[in-house]
Structure 1
Amino acid sequence: MPNQPTGDPNAHDASKFADSLSGSCLCGSITVTITDKDLFTKPRGHLCHCSNCRKVSGSYVSSNLLIEAEKVKIDDRDGTLKTYEDHATLSGNPVYRSFCSTDGNPVKSETSAYPGKVIIKMGMMPRIPQPETEGFGLHRHAWQGKNDGVAVYKLKWAGPEKERMS
């Protein structure tokens, strides 16, 4: 019998994640747990269309959650978490992009622009909160649909470069 499809977010009721949300990389070596009671009570996180986030995600957009570092626990069971220092950034400050060195799964990013916070790559989670913003809207593909209720910013969704498109 063939394998059943995996990853249906509708198979996971959001109420299961009232206190925390956990997900893992593809090989299972790295597990990320976010402890936050507001993950599914309101729109959270952001979609990023910058070239670097697209490359890291392997898609036309990256689903991210900027959150306080103390609310995130990362278990690196097999020691596969590696970090790439990305200097090709808008600010010129490095973004530290961490990933599983076995399966390539993006895990998190950190930057001095957001001290005390971490950017979790949400693709590894069984369910993703509805985003509240989209960054680098100028870099969206013309064929992309619009997300109702999600504010789109020309470049960054936070900081001095913040200029809203919609």
Structure 2
Amino acid sequence: MAHKSNFTGDPNAHPISKFSNSMTGSCLCGSISVTIHDSELFSKPRGHLCHCANCRKVSGSFVSANMAIEKEKVTYEDKSGMIKTYEDYDTGSGNCMKRLFCGNCGSPIMSQPEIFPNMYIVKMGMFPRIPQPECESFAAHRHEWQGKHDGLEQYAFVRGQKKLGEE
């Protein structure tokens, strides 16, 4: 196994100014790269933290850092033919959520929601920096030991619908 000599997990090693028009990330093995083409990645809060069970499973963590973004703003390259798709019908709407991942290293890449055919939900963990999120979805499913993220809108379940604590 080759060690990457330029490896760094420190987001501060990647100045935000580097991403004024786009940002590229990759899966763990480097077979798949994704570029978000957007000049507002770091000019305002973007993306969301999702606490639904499916996103937690896909991320392998207690929350998934996601960005719902228009398809035309995303390009991806699969130079080794490693993209695999899992069709997830165990969703709140019952509609299919195609979950793309690397068949070699298992890294989650993005989701393609059937209910929003013009959007991708890009998994932000593969990027050198993650924009400050604007909200949390499925906040009602947060673990009691999690700290609160100040300034984030908290939706009880689906983003854009009832906020946490609203009757």
Query: Given the two structures, how large is their TM-score scaled by the length of structure 2?
Result: 0.93
Identify if the C-alpha distance between structure 1 residues 18 and 145 changes in structure 2 by more than 3 Å, giving closer, same or farther: same
Q: Give the letter aligned to residue 93 of structure 1.
A: N
**Match of 1:89?**
91
1:12-52 Cα distance to aligned partner (Å, 9 max, x none): 11111000000000000000000000000000000000000
Which of 54, 62, 76 matches 1:74? 76
Cα distance in 2 for partners of 1:97, 1:4 equals 29
**Match of 2:162?**
163
Which of 122, 128, 148 matches 1:120? 122
Q: 4+ residue runs of structure 1 moved beyond 4 angstroms? A: none
**Match of 1:152?**
154
1:65-107 Cα distance to aligned partner (Å, 9 max, x none): 0001011011001000010000110000010000000000000
Which of 12, 21, 29 matches 1:10? 12
Q: Give the letter aligned to residue 151 of structure 1.
A: E
Query: Number of aligned pairs?
Result: 161
Residue 4 of structure 1 deviates from its aligned partner by 8.7
Residue 10 of structure 1 deviates from its aligned partner by 1.1
Equivalent pairs: percent with the same residue?
A: 57
**Match of 1:47?**
49
**Match of 1:24?**
26
Cα distance in 1 for partners of 2:6, 2:131 equals 24
Cα distance in 2 for partners of 1:130, 1:4 equals 25
Which of 136, 139, 145 matches 1:137? 139
Which of 48, 62, 65 matches 1:63? 65
Q: Give the letter aligned to residue 24 of structure 1.
A: S
Residue 11 of structure 1 deviates from its aligned partner by 1.0
* Root-mean-square deviation over aligned CA pairs: 1.3
Residue 112 of structure 1 deviates from its aligned partner by 2.0
Secondary structure, counterpart of 1:55 in structure 2: helix
What 5-or-longer segments of structure 2 have no aligned partner? none
Query: Given the two structures, how large is their TM-score scaled by the length of structure 1?
Result: 0.94
Cα distance in 1 for partners of 2:105, 2:63 equals 20
**Match of 1:108?**
110
